[in-house]
Structure 1
Amino acid sequence: MNNDITMPRSLNYIDGQWCHGGDREIPVYNPADGSQIGSIPCSDAATVDKAVKAARAGFENPEWRNLAPMAREALLHRLANLIEENAEQLAKIESLDNGKPIAFSSTLDVPLCTSWFRYFAGWCSKLSGKSLNPALQAAGSHHVYTRREPIGVVGAIVPWNFPLVLAVWKLAPALAAGCTVVIKPAELTPYSVLKLAELVDQAGFPKGVFNVVLGDGSTGQAIVDHPGVNKISFTGSTAVGKSILRSVSHDLKRVTLELGGKSPTIIMPDADMSLAIPGATQAAFVNSGQICFAGTRLFAPRKHFEQILDGVADAASSFKIGPGLDPTSMLGPVISQKQMDGIFTRIDSSVQQGASLHSGGKRIGDAGYFIEPTILVTDDNQNPAFREEFFGPVLTATPYDDLDELVALANDSSYGLAAHVYTSQLNAAHQLAAKLEAGTVWVNTQLSPDPNIPFGGFKQSGWGRENGEDVFEHYLETKSVIMSLGN
């Protein structure tokens, strides 16, 4: 293993202590070569119970509950500073564990985490209630106000495609609101969150405020089922999201879900092709396509169709594919053998059902889980390539003739997470943005989330919103206080 990477401990972090949990271990592999880089405990329900009780005690602890908002803000800034100071190690851990290129983990993933904590630190002192005038009572007869109170213990379940970034998307607003957290990273990619736990400890957060529980789906289920958890924040597959909803029906936990996507990229006939072609390529293939809001359905005008497809294929072929820790790599492996096998199964099924393979479609090398950027072509909206989320470097391209049918084609999906539009006409951009069934619409740009911009999905892409002021609806409860001023 790389000697210049200092790996964190492969242990749970509960109540400020590192500890084991459960009676079996889960191996963790480097997806670039399939070698084992460590193993983590598969924490059982008793370990989850220990973590939730620690989070509850941390929530009730006056050191946290009564902390002045500006003091909580200072803690978050201190954590952001520590992330910045440890940026190189965090980026290397992320690239080793997840396989993503160090060129991206060092310039995007880790810096974005710093920015997210700093942005949400500023909200600590801004989360106030309101003074209200009742509509049915005489003026001056009652004093009415609202309080915004932290929801309590948050169970955060994080996927493997952006292990650190998506953990921070949940942690930063939860902590800013005054909640406490039990977080479970994906068993495939636990180490960057464990490194973050070390930094939380160094920053001086009170014990129990931040807890990490390691394990697989059974561990996540124990968090979902625990009666001491007030809210679940989950990012992952739509199938698991639906399962979580069924599980919480017995106690009506608050839930936010950021789920799957099959997002359209629309290139209008008037688009600047020098912008649209590389943009569509990045939207589909960055992070080896392992992005929930990747632009994996391309709609291009028929008269430019071959030109666009050839341009996207040429641009994708220029991305150097290699191990994440190679500073020249632009595309890394997919996360696992299972993921790679599933992608190839979907490619084969799509071709068998009528899609044509324009380019790619092959494994690269015998070690690691590398897949060529792949383009499938179909105009059949029932083909798996059109409907299913591959979560890999696969783009489905469909030509169109009629602008009126374009929106119907783009919206023909059970998902509605995002959309990308390329056009030179401002009115067309606004009209499309209004008609597309997507939580985020990027115009002449792609894959650019921001801490101040709400993010989430329509339809089966999820419930609720991450980021921006909107996210606090999910981490705060509103309490109304009504006081009679009469004798």
Structure 2
Amino acid sequence: MSPTPAAEVTRYGLFIDNQRTAPIEGEYLDVVDPATGRVWAQVPNASAKDVDTAVSAARRAFEDGDWPGYRAADRAKFLIRFGEAIADHADELAALQVRENGKLIREMAGQAKLMPEYLNYYAGLAQMPTGTTNPLHVKDMVSYTVREPIGVVAAITPWNSPLLLLLWKLGPALAAGNTVIAKPSEVTPVSAIRFAELAAEAGLPPGVFNVVTGLGSPSGTALTGHPGVDKIAFTGSTATGQAIASQAGKTLKRVSLELGGKSPNIVFDDADVSSAINGLIAGIFGASGQTCMAGSRILVQENSYDRVVAELAERADAIKVGDPHDPASEMGTVACRPQFDKVRHYMDLAKSEGARLVAGGTTAEVDGFPDGLFVRPTVFADVSNDMKIAREEVFGPIASVIPFRDEDDAVRIANDTEFGLAAGIWTQNVQRAHRVAGRLRAGTVWINNYRKTSYATPFGGYKQSGLGRENGPDSLREYTEEKSVWVDTGQGVKDPFNPRA
């Protein structure tokens, strides 16, 4: 934390009621470029008082403002305008995120250009019929349901895909008529502030979308524990999600949690190996392995095991680690120093557990970036599913290759985890593909592909990978309450104690 910024460092404020606001206690955090190691921005470390100001703004906008009462068509029009503003600033938003977390510019640019399509989809959801009429056993009565916004939503987001994962919460929350306070990761706060500014420029009323920045404590805990917050939508680690759920339970806040994973990517002997290798590479080394859905456990049937290990190692060694702003780079940095240290710890741990290192296993040197947080794509073979490297989420570019005998063995190993976020199946046997997909305890299963998502498809996990679903046609349900309405169409209520009267 720094009391004053250096001359070349840009200082940002909180974004509350459509304007930048200085923190009440004057405390700021440094934002560091993981490729250069240099501080380039400072953001407020919001206090409980700052959080209270943001919640008050969101409550006013919800209870006294026009937003919840907007016609669905008008909320949809805003979402479309917001998408247009994002499209106009896509290059800026992509570059900001790369500077924050070291992810490849080509990946961040692709996400930024796709976000308007997400908003168009949410605009459509805002106008979908959401109520039902219900056949009753009671004479002369009609019953129907309506779905109404929950209220003030706290959206707490991670650093790996800062804006897309924020949008997964913000879009349906606004479409349903809620107001939102976003608390981005302290690693990637600047892009969220700029995102909120664009929403305001697109016409969102004051107080509807606010951003508070800061550490998990005090900022995050003040937000999740605030009595003025009605719903918490969180993406991050399972341990933090458990703490949030426990805290939310004290006031029965609504909660949706998108948490960790240790996802199996299963290669059968009859797979198209060349295609499978491409999918394995994308599944674990895309985003430097810093994704909840990373295919970090690679399960390979025995007859194909040696070939897959050899080709996977060769491909991993060939990946170009470099400047994340350079479109020619194939893998950027780890996002921050604590994560960099964690990845290196798991490299050492895997070696000590007896896993066989076949690629990487060290940091990477990149010309011109002596202080960059670069690591080499790493592959460990001969991993058993009881090793920590196979059971604990690393959130980095480390693949653990595990052999299996047959279909039953593959399913047993795949499901032997506390997580259940995603899985991949590689086979040319259509019956096996569907059969195994049905047996896997995971929220998303890809067949002969990996790491694809869409605004039209629900995403979320089984077991300790979370609660609820994001995206898809039912995503508005996560941000609405359902109300039953009964109407007497008969002659009114008779005297209950004298029914003949």
TM-score (structure 2 length as normaliser):
0.93
**Which residue is equivalent to 1:287?**
287
Partner of 2:28: 25
Aligned equivalents of 2:299, 2:135: Cα separation in 1: 52
Q: C-alpha separation between the residues in 1 aligned to 2:372 and 2:11?
A: 25
- Please tell me whether Structure 1 or Structure 2 has the larger radius of gyration of its CA atoms: 2
Tell whether 2:160 aligns with 1:156. no
Instruction: Spell out, residue by residue over 1:207-263, the C-alpha distance to the aligned partner (whole angstroms, 9 max, x if none).
Output: 111000011101111110001111000000000001011111210100000000000
Give the % identical residues: 42
- 2:66 is paired with a residue whose SS is helix
Counterpart contact for 2:383–2:400, Cα < 8 Å: no
Structure 1 residue 170: Cα displacement: 0.5
Tell me, in whole angstroms, the C-alpha distance in 2 between the residues paired with 1:210 and 1:8.
Answer: 23
- Secondary structure class of the residue paired with 1:291: coil
What's the CA shift string for 1:30-70, capped at 9, x where partnerless?
01121111111100111111111111111124421221111
Alpha-carbon distance in 2 for matches of 1:27, 1:282 = 32
| Cross-structure match for 2:413 | 409
| 1:3 alignment partner in structure 2 | none
Among candidates 56, 60, 72, match of residue 57 of structure 1:
60
Cα–Cα, structure 1 residues 408 and 304, in superposed 2: closer, same or farther, change >3 Å?
same
2:153 match: secondary structure: strand
Match of 2:4 in 1: none
Q: Is the 8 A contact 1:82 1:203 kept in 2?
A: yes
Task: Give the equivalent residue in structure 1 for 2:108.
Answer: 105
Equivalent residues in 2 for 1:435-450, closer than 5 Å: 435-450=439-454
- What is aligned with 1:474? 478
Counterpart residue number, 2:265: 265
Deviation at 1:9, TM superposition (A): 6.1
Q: Offset of 1:316 from its aligned partner?
A: 2.4
1:294 counterpart letter in structure 2: A
> Is the CA contact (8 Å cut-off) linking 1:293 and 1:417 kept in structure 2?
yes
Contact 2:11 2:43 in 1 (8 A): no
Q: 1:7 to 1:428 in 2, by over 3 A?
A: farther
The range that moved more, 303-312 or 450-459, is 303-312
- For the 8 Å contact 1:417–1:439, the answer to whether it is kept is yes
- 2:84 is aligned to 81
**Structure 2 segments unaligned to the other structure (5+ residues):** 1-7, 492-501
1:387 maps to which residue? Answer: 391
Instruction: Report the Cα offset of residue 93 of structure 1.
Output: 0.8
**Equivalent residue, structure 1, for 2:203:** 204
2:50 to 47, 51, 56: 47
The partner residue of 1:485 within 466, 482, 489 is 489
Residue identity matched to 1:382: D
Contact (CA 8 Å) 2:319, 2:377: kept in 1 or not?
no
Partner residue in 1 for 2:119:
117
| Offset of residue 317 of structure 1 | 2.7
The TM-score normalised by the length of structure 1 is: 0.96
- Please point out which of 426, 429, 434 is paired with 1:425: 429
Counterpart residue type for residue 384 of structure 1: K
Q: Once the 2 structures are TM-superposed, how far is the Cα of residue 429 of structure 1 from its aligned partner?
A: 0.6
Deviates more, 1:334-343 or 1:407-416: 334-343
> Which segment is superposed worse, 51-60 or 226-235?
51-60
Alignment partners' CA distance in 1, 2:477 and 2:70:
21
Distance 2:197 2:318 in 1: 38
Aligned length: 478
Whole-angstrom distance in 2 between the partners of 1:8 and 1:481: 53
For the pair 1:275 / 2:275, whether they are aligned, the reply is yes
Secondary structure in structure 2 of the residue aligned to 1:386: helix
Tell me the equivalent position of 2:463.
459
Residue correspondence of structure 1 range 182-197 to structure 2 within 5 A: 182-197=181-196
* CA-to-aligned-CA distance 1:139-182 (integer Å, 9 cap, x gap): xx112111110111000000001101100011000000111100
Deviation at 1:127, TM superposition (A): 4.1
Q: Are 2:171 and 1:168 equivalent residues in the alignment?
A: no
User: 3-state SS of the aligned residue for 2:126?
Assistant: coil
Matched, 1:251 2:251: yes
1:315 Cα offset (Å): 2.1
